[in-house]
Structure 1
């Protein structure tokens, strides 16, 4: 798909120089984007901060200090098979969810001891289905595994580590506890996408054919009306979490 309009929109509406200036006034803050390096087959975290944070490199992931640009944003959301990879410094990068089995690691390496995990999957998505899965449903399951499941799994692992660490005497702890607040939607994206099905471009309907199930549509529908409804649902959902999050922040 052509991502040029998104790139132009971000350039018009996002003042990266203001972002840089803001970070220069907040030395204990950092901003980061995760991207997958198709050249090295490694997940990279590009981060910007004035803090004394070191770069890191591992077999499957690494972190580089950078002056962030719109290209980093485009690369971080360049979903495979849908959006073209982005060329930066001689390497092609795509969506940061690829091969990212520990998505919370970047925040922890950047010094976080409290994390708000805003997930895109929740109980509303767990519907019982006994019919034969279609190609579209299988494809959307693959997308879920690529983009969503690792964050949920990593959150469960972190909570388990916290539980085990808490049981140890403080003098024997060599791992710090990370306070995790989890927020998940209470509505189903696919049901909203289905209401906007007629907004899906005709050429893409022809291209994807029977693959376009409501689940798959929620990934592929880039439409203003659909986005506005999602934002409104998200705002209402956020209000329902308000007391819990405020209490977490106070503590």
Structure 2
């Protein structure tokens, strides 16, 4: 029986979309009389939260998915990062101190990010029982959980793997594997968006968002034996954000527009590039299928991504952004320019619920592909 991997990419609040897709996949398979058999859970950034959460509750799939949807649909930004003026003021003062006096005093090691995510740490400790992951592995409910984060010291994407199966560790260019018992710290590290959220220490090393330096997000699952991939992205299929502003050529981009571009390039593009790579490899395999020396096999996969522009959707919910965050973002440019940035930080129920609904519908629209993937 082919091993199936669920691969979840990242993007802050966009992770709510993945919860909706998971719910849709479950309903599609249930209506078709097929089990939702997942052998490998692989997550980066916000996808790390979703992957670990599902893995911890996989002994009751319906409950796991319902609880994940409930978690995202009830979120507030204050559950993820401090939104009050006092804490944000302290962070701002640390940044000002380092930038203005750093040449004299040297770096303090503080003020490493624009926001502080202690509330997220508390939320995960309350909502996520990582000890259940080992129990579910021991009961053969799945084969592995993979959480990838970037090691800021040597710029390597480290795939932390929790499994009770034998596998061949890998050490490739800027990508390595490490066996680990996944904890909240691994998840916080993987979901620490560069500059926005602080790096997290794991065994005396500091880690950040798993999308960084991760040019092959599908690879870890394949190395562990997956022959079928279910990949859920969070980047909109359309290119409307760029088309919308094409009339503004000749006008210098705002800082917010530049930040949008950088965040999308770092956090969202890699999974699309890896899917394109899979398509090309499958085409090569098909063309050479009669070759006796062919060592590659076709990899079946389904890729589901947002059918609508999430940045544009975030624009509709600007009023839900915490007031002081909205004020600070305006310093980078107009709120319209910052809609992609805001979509990463808008951990608010109305926005997340709309993403969940979109994900659910996108999964239903992929019904035939999903059934074909899970049917042997």
TM-score, normalised by the number of residues in structure 2? 0.63
Asked if 1:110 corresponds to 2:237, the answer is no
Answer 1 or 2: higher relative contact order, Cα 8 Å, separation at least 6. 2
Aligned to 2:365: 240
* Matches for 1:66-77 after TM superposition, within 5 Å: 66-77=180-191
From 354, 361, 364, the equivalent of 1:229 is 354
Q: For 1:131-184, what per-residue CA distance to the aligned partner results, in whole angstroms no more than 9, with x for missing partners?
A: 244332221111111011111111111211111122222521122322121111
Match of residue 15 from structure 1: 129
- RMSD of aligned alpha carbons: 1.8
Matches within 5 A, 1:113-124: 113-124=227-238
Counterpart in 2 of 1:154?
274
Matched, 1:52 2:170: no
SS in 1 for 2:276: helix
Contact 1:28 1:51 in 2 (8 A): no
Deviation at 1:33, TM superposition (A): 0.5
Q: How many corresponding residue pairs?
A: 251
The 1-side partners of 2:173 and 2:315 are apart by 41
| TM-score normalized with structure 1 length | 0.93
> CA deviation digits over 1:54-102, x for unaligned, max 9?
2222230100111111111111110000111010111000001111111
**Is 1:139 aligned with 2:259?**
yes
Name the CA shift for 1:219/1:28 in 2 (closer, same or farther; >3 Å). Answer: closer
Whether the aligned pair in 1 keeps the contact of 2:304 and 2:362 (CA below 8 Å) is no
C-alpha distance in structure 2 between counterparts of 1:122 and 1:77, whole Å: 20
1:175-214 to 2 correspondence within 5 Å? 175-208=296-329, 209-211=331-333, 212=335, 213-214=338-339
Q: Which residue of 2 aligns with 1:78?
A: 192
